[in-house]
Amino acid sequence: MKSYQMDIAEQMPFLKQLTKGLSTQFGSKCEVAVHDLTNGPESTIIAIENGHVTGRKIGDGAGPVVMRVLQDPHLAVDNTGYLTRTNDGRLLRSSSIYLKDENGLPIALLSINYDFTELSNATSVLLQYMGIQSDRAQHNGIDTIFSGVSNILDRLIEESAVLVGKPVALMNKDDKVKAIKYLDEKGAFLIRNSGDKVSKYFDISKYTLYNYLDYVKRMEMPNP
């Protein structure tokens, strides 16, 4: 039986050709990247064109979409034309197309991100001139594409604290369990050395963190 790595290696010439072709077709505002989904989140990008759109390069790690699929492969469903944004707030129209093995498991992702910020701004100005209220998408709920997994982890930790709604110094055990449950659901603990950063942020030992994680897992188990 061929390994996942061999499957990806066999497809790489075509994936690189496709990446180059799509980016050339749509111009410098269109980033096209290929993610390897078989080696964890730290270094997933194995091919990329127009990486200046998101500030990423070959060897960079997973974004939010990839993190969710690494956490739960059943979420690897092709999705086109959804909104994302860059870390500095530019709006992207994104598509995710998955390459799967013979068992239906995702092994690679073709990611397309088109920066339409200038077009969106021009449309907003035109609508205001015409006296029409613009219905531009709000940033809430839109994934942010970061240039590295450490940035993603920082963002997830911030989101978990916002979810609890109080500073760490005022959090009790239940509050911290709630935050850690959120981090676990988002795949934060797939990131190398995430336990150290999470433990430090919530002022708990790694032993306590693992106990909380075990408690979260037991809560999620169905009743016998």
Q: What is the pLDDT of residues 186-224, one digit of tens each?
A: 888 888 889 999 999 999 999 999 999 988 888 765 544
pLDDT at 65: 87
Contact 139, 89 (CB under 8 A): yes
pLDDT at 175: 93
pLDDT at 149: 72
pLDDT greater at residue 4 or residue 166: 166
Round to whole Å and give the CA distance between 138 and 211.
38
pLDDT at 139: 45
Contacts (Cβ under 8 Å, ≥6 apart) of 179: 160, 161, 163, 164, 171, 202
Residue 57: pLDDT band (50, 70, 90) is very high
Q: What is the pLDDT of residues 2-23, one digit of tens each?
A: 555 546 778 888 999 999 999 9
pLDDT at 212: 92
pLDDT at 48: 96
Round to whole Å and give the CA distance between 15 and 65.
19
Sequence-ordered strand ranges (E) for the chain: 30-36, 45-49, 79-86, 91-100, 106-115, 143-145
pLDDT at 16: 92
Is the whole-model pTM more than 0.75?
no
Q: What is the pLDDT of residues 84-139, one digit of tens each?
A: 888 887 889 999 999 998 889 999 999 999 998 877 666 555 555 555 554 444 44
Residue 1: pLDDT band (50, 70, 90) is very low
Residue with tokens 């920082």: 154
pLDDT reading at 151 higher than 80: no
CA dist 66 → 11, 61, 100, 127 (Å):
19, 9, 14, 35
Q: Which region among 22-26, 73-77, 213-217 has the lowest average model confidence (pLDDT)? A: 213-217
